[in-house]
Structure 1
């Protein structure tokens, strides 16, 4: 299937699903799109029991997209830049300590707690999943997803301070999550061990390298944008900036998300003048780009179900993973607050726990796992976690916030 056909079909499907959601379901965008996509996927699988033609055609289309590469190599830079572009740096600066703790220490704690608890549960249920693969699964699902978080936060009424913390954490925790993923994967692969020196080198390369490239290219883009008023040229500069970040960060093997976030914060917080019409258009166009790519991404997440017929074999592990992850999230939020900040607010804890959503990045990471006897189990369980997170947590987040705020007021 050629590229033009793939893009055309994908855009048409996204348009139809978006229209159906607005006219019939009337759910928040991300939740509605994923829900419709899953319903269509289930319907296709049911029809496939009697007619394999339709199912095979959809599977062929899904395979031709290559979800992992499309998200990680193409869409991620644009989505992260767009998310950071509209983020208020001053608010982020005010909440820098909790954001830093949750995006670093919180991810590490969550990975360890999730891996340990899941391993204990597998022992109790008498099915074998080695501890290293439990930890690897934890590294995949512990970082909150900036795309899912941003999409859901739009329709919630979370207090501004917590909103900043949740959004800031999701923007910066991918670097730590990726490092943990690579380290644990190296341990799981007995042919390649990972020394302490290699861990430090990986951290410096991925995290600091990503931030440095984002600073350099972001500052360059900001200076170029401030020298002109032509909207077309300004927009082209911003597009070139994101593409350049993706290519250069990939060449130097540094974190694309951190580079894009850093550049987006610089350009969005320094280049935008609310009195300048060109700047206003730039802000609105990047919001449109963000919404369009989100639409495509969440439809792709739902349609991935057609590619996972083995879900029926691992649904118990998937449900267990959801519960274990929620416990790990509570501990990873509460522990830094109690030990380092010396305070713990139960209302804030409930909101921070329930708003820690997982999304397409977790699925993309799971899809990059090498072939092993545990790959399908982790991938299927990860899919359960993501779908539960986007649909159930997304739909109930508003209610959780209302209860927490009411309890805090009392």
Structure 2
């Protein structure tokens, strides 16, 4: 085929892609539906011009369109890795982990249920072997939720809902294509009825092998990109090579799922890349992949739609009945997941509640698209698949795809409007009024500053200021007069504004490199959780999310166990250093928010709401300071090292800004500017290197901070530090239960606890101990102990405590004072023998 003709056709396809998006916006249809319709029309038009004798002038173009060298392998090996890889780079993995249960239900369990249901229904209504029926079920189980996600975003649906759908899209493609490869192998080998045990065994092997290959490829690619940190174009080139090599290596060399390998490679780069690459490199890399995926997604839709007329050439009346079976069964299987299993998981508190209107929209928005067509085309082109199976696979997959695109896709927006999802809730409506009022206040202040520099006439400035002031007064009054909003909701609105301002401050500090790239994703994810929790549960949700941001996580506790029992210190050192950095970042951000409440919130919601928000913000700062104090006590000097690193990073940022200003003013030339930035980059690389934290050598220093141990010499301190066991507890966590047997004595390294006994309660803080009375009196504990702040506790077993008591007069006096406060005679503690030995 003439290269000029092919180039013309490809360029024309890009022209179509460019015009389809504004067309979709004008006619209010999903972009994918418009692309599919255009592709079908182009395919029908090309076939018509070749078949008719009305004109032969367009025959070369029509022939070039129909004979483009586009086969199934092009979709599977060129377009598919691009789409999957870009999706993995774009998702917020840490936020997806929060919703892993509903994502796995919709992405994996729903795919398995849909495949089995469609396979069983076709097996009962057609003459196809069961393996071919299951193959069709796997092909049509992939969903393309881009349409419903786009509409959800346009109507301000909860972010969590859109994230669940995006996570489903990412993983259900991988699961469905892995099943597709499994059942295609059975059909190609002529196995009519595959054993279920064999399929169950092989599927996890394909998935696990793909994950391993993808992870290894991702780590190798990241290491090479770090070596090329000064060459952004080289890094982008390496990222482009990664998904294709992972796909081919997994499929051709390892014999496992290439799709799973691409997803695993992308997730590996997504998790580790932001912390190892510079912010500009990561941003540019993401932008390149967004463009590549946009082109790939559009081309795969148009090119696959071009083939639809060919796939439907041999449709028979009986095939329409089978298409109906597929449509009904696929819809019913998805409905069972959405309206049966998902509510059950919500009742068991394993999944967030997804309201019925949203579940209905997700059901109707489960469109099928180019991936389904590409998989069907792969079957029709296979020489090892029987002819009748190829014909039915092509017809059923294409017919079902057309139904979802034309029927569901064109009516999706109407369905969402009928469900009432396109209307703002009273809370969102009030929030929008508040946003307008706050924004106009900022605009008025900035316009007033700008007009001073314009040297305009006073009459013009005065008239425009009056006009703008009237508009601002109307906006503020609208925000204040939202009478349908309760005071509780006003607090929620204020907290949402405060959480949004916090996210803006975080983004600004990330751009300024005050917050390191290693921690940027984690800190932003916590800000998003704060916003979503506030929107869902108001003040309580805000407080819970704020507390979770400073709590010790399950992975941190696991790292502590590995360090204590297996002497594996690296995970604990990494997580502790990350916690240090994150808490310092929180402290900086919260300090920046101090004036926001007074400047913005008070004007709209009044003094009471502003005072309450100030109190909540003060509590958050206290929680962060308490957590930082605990780390400083346990690892003296390390916080200071991180603070020095922060100052150096800030100085480098300011130095870079000065160089940019000099370059713009023409004070330095381009060559000198480049040389200065290169030298700056070397120093920045050194500063970004985080200081090493040795968790194994810090306990002695922590023990020295206790006044109770001041009379011990160095050898006794080392011996004591080896006997102490560190325990981390969160606020609200019970440390000791009433009536339990004494196991030792707890010393509070940081935080605070509350003791409750006999109707009384008292609190203990840093440097104090508890549990000693039950141990010395040899009786069950009468007090219940609960942490009231994230706390670091040191547990000393009974034998070691008694040995320490015999050596330390200061500890004896402290116990005597504690016993006197509780009305316990000192001789009941058995001090006589200890004092004689000391004497």
TM-score higher than 0.5? yes
CA distance in 1, matches of 2:84, 2:190: 34
Structure 1 distance, partners of 2:86, 2:148, is 16
C-alpha contact (below 8 Å) 1:229/1:278 kept by paired residues:
no
Change (3 A) 1:117 1:226: same
Name the counterpart of 1:12: 11
1:394 aligned residue (392, 399, 409): 409
Matches within 5 A, 1:352-367: 352-367=362-377
**Aligned pair 1:322/2:332, yes or no?**
no
TM-score normalized by the length of structure 2? 0.43
| 1:113 correspondence with 2:113 | no
1:295 counterpart = 2:298:
yes
Take 2:100 and 2:62, find their aligned partners in 1: how far apart are those partners?
Answer: 45
Supply the distance in 1 between the matched residues of 2:336 and 2:4 (Cα, whole angstroms).
47
Q: How does 1:213-362 map to 2 (within 5 A)?
A: 213-227=213-227, 228-250=229-251, 251-272=253-274, 276-310=279-313, 312-313=315-316, 314-338=319-343, 340-342=345-347, 345-362=355-372
C-alpha distance 189-116 of structure 1, shift in aligned 2 (>3 A): same
Give the alignment of 1:56-75 within 5 angstroms: 58=62, 61-75=65-79
Write the distance in 2 (CA, Å) between the matches of 1:113 and 1:196: 14
CA–CA separation in structure 2 for the residues paired with 1:242 and 1:132: 30
Give CA-to-partner distance per residue, 1:79-111, whole Å, 9 cap, x none: 111111111111211111111122222111112
Give 1:371 shift.
2.6
1:97-141 Cα distance to aligned partner (Å, 9 max, x none): 111122222111112222334455x4xxxx645555433321211
Q: How far 1:197 moved relative to its partner?
A: 6.2
Partners of 1:23 and 1:204 in 2: CA distance: 43
1:406–1:86 Cα change, 3 Å? closer
Q: How many Å apart are 1:200 and its aligned residue?
A: 4.8
The whole-number CA distance in structure 2 between the counterparts of 1:128 and 1:169 is 33
- The answer to which structure, 1 or 2, has the higher relative contact order (CA under 8 A, 6+ apart) is 1
Contact 1:75–1:293, Cα closer than 8 Å, also in 2: yes
Please identify, of 363-372 and 189-198, the stretch whose mean Cα deviation from structure 2 is larger: 189-198
Deviations 1:51-78 (A, max 9, x none): 4976897467545524311011222112
- For the pair 1:149 / 2:149, whether they are aligned, the reply is no
Query: Does structure 2 conserve the Cα–Cα contact (< 8 Å) formed by 1:366 and 1:382?
Result: yes
SS at match of 2:387: coil
Choose between structure 1 and 2: higher helix proportion: 1
Which residue of structure 2 aligns with residue 159 of structure 1? 158
TM-score by length of structure 1 reads 0.84
Cα contact 1:80–1:171 (8 A) shared by 2: yes
Question: SS in structure 1 opposite 2:76?
Answer: helix
1:301 positional shift: 1.7
Alignment of 1:164-243 (within 5 A): 164-185=163-184, 191-192=190-191, 194-195=194-195, 198-227=198-227, 228-243=229-244
CA distance in 1, matches of 2:170, 2:368: 12
Q: Which secondary structure state, in structure 2, belongs to the residue aligned with residue 368 of structure 1?
A: helix
Hey, which bits of structure 1, 4+ residues long, moved more than 6 A? 52-57, 407-410
Structure 1's 298 and 156: CA in aligned 2 closer, same or farther, altered over 3 A?
Answer: farther
Task: String of CA shifts for 1:14-63, please: whole Å, max 9, x gaps.
Answer: 22322443565645432222211112222334444434976897467545
How far did 1:225 drift? 3.0
- 2:115 counterpart SS class: helix
Matched residue, 1:137:
136
Instruction: Give yes or no for contact 1:21–1:29 (8 Å, CA) kept in 2.
Output: yes
How far is the alpha carbon of 1:337 from its aligned partner?
A: 2.1
Match of 2:104 among 96, 100, 107: 100
Q: Aligned match of 2:81 in 72, 77, 89?
A: 77
Query: Are residues 1:39 and 2:41 paired?
Result: yes
CA contact (8 A) 2:118 2:134 kept: yes
Q: Distance in 2 between matches of 1:248 and 1:263?
A: 12
Q: State whether residues 156 and 397 of structure 1, in contact with CA within 8 Å, keep that contact through their aligned partners in structure 2.
A: no
> Structure 1 unaligned runs (5+)?
none
Q: What is the aligned partner in structure 2 of residue 385 from structure 1?
A: 400
Taking the aligned partners of 1:322 and 1:6, their CA distance within structure 2 comes to: 40
Instruction: Measure, in 2, the Cα distance between the counterparts of 1:43 and 1:13.
Output: 15
342-351 or 281-290, larger mean C-alpha shift: 342-351
Q: Which one has a bigger Cα radius of gyration?
A: 2
The alignment's C-alpha RMSD in Å is 3.4
**1:41 and 1:306 in contact (8 A); partners too:** yes
Counterpart Cα distance in 2 of 1:307 and 1:50 = 17
Q: Give how far 1:238 is off.
A: 0.5
Aligned equivalents of 2:292, 2:94: Cα separation in 1: 24
Deviations, residues 371-404 of structure 1 (Å, cap 9, x unaligned): 3323212211211222333344334334434444
User: How far apart are the structure 2 equivalents of 1:102 and 1:32?
Assistant: 26
Aligned to 1:375: 390
Query: Higher strand proportion, which one?
Result: 2
Distance in 2 separating the partners of 1:7 and 1:253 = 35
**Contact (CA 8 Å) 2:361, 2:415: kept in 1 or not?**
yes
CA distance in 2, matches of 1:31, 1:98: 27
Summarize the Cα distance change of 1:22–1:406 in structure 2 as closer, same or farther, 3 Å threshold.
closer
Against the structure 1 CA distance between its residues 326 and 257, is the aligned structure 2 distance closer, same or farther, given a 3 Å change threshold? Answer: same
Q: Indicate the larger mover: 50-59 or 201-210.
A: 50-59
Displacement of 1:178: 3.6
SS at match of 1:357: coil
The equivalent of 2:684 in structure 1 is none
Counterpart secondary structure, 1:310: coil
Aligned residues of 1:59 and 1:307 also touching (Cα < 8 A): no
